[in-house]
Amino acid sequence: QFSSICAIIAYEFKTGGSFMKLNGTIYHLEQPVILLDLLNEYGFQTQRIAVEMNGAIIPKATYEQVTVTNDDTLEVVSFVGGG
């Protein structure tokens, strides 16, 4: 599966395709997706994270209204307790 992903990425770069970047990893979205759905798909616990999209912090209350496309860069930071 890894080699097929690399082949897709190489093809997209050659053809000028665009990508979404999540925490430094490049992904190709088949279509725009709602931020909350993307976070759930990748297993993030939305109550314990902060999301930065294209350099701006996204308020939790708007996760269901924000659309992510292949032109976006996301950084997701998880909060953990400890002592």
Judge whether 28 and 8 are in contact, CB under 8 Å.
Answer: yes
Judge whether 77 and 50 are in contact, CB under 8 Å.
Answer: yes
pLDDT digits (tens, 9 = 90+) for 7-57: 445 555 555 567 889 998 888 888 999 999 999 998 999 999 999 999 999
Between 11 and 60, whose confidence is greater? 60
Residue 78: per-residue pLDDT: 87
Interatomic CA distance for residues 58 and 66, integer angstroms: 8
Contacts of 66 (CB under 8 A, 6+ apart): 34, 35, 36, 53, 58
Confidence of residue 2 (pLDDT cuts 50, 70, 90): very low
Helix (H, G, I), strand (E, B) or coil at 47: helix
| pLDDT at residue 3 greater than cutoff 50 | no
pTM of the model: 0.76
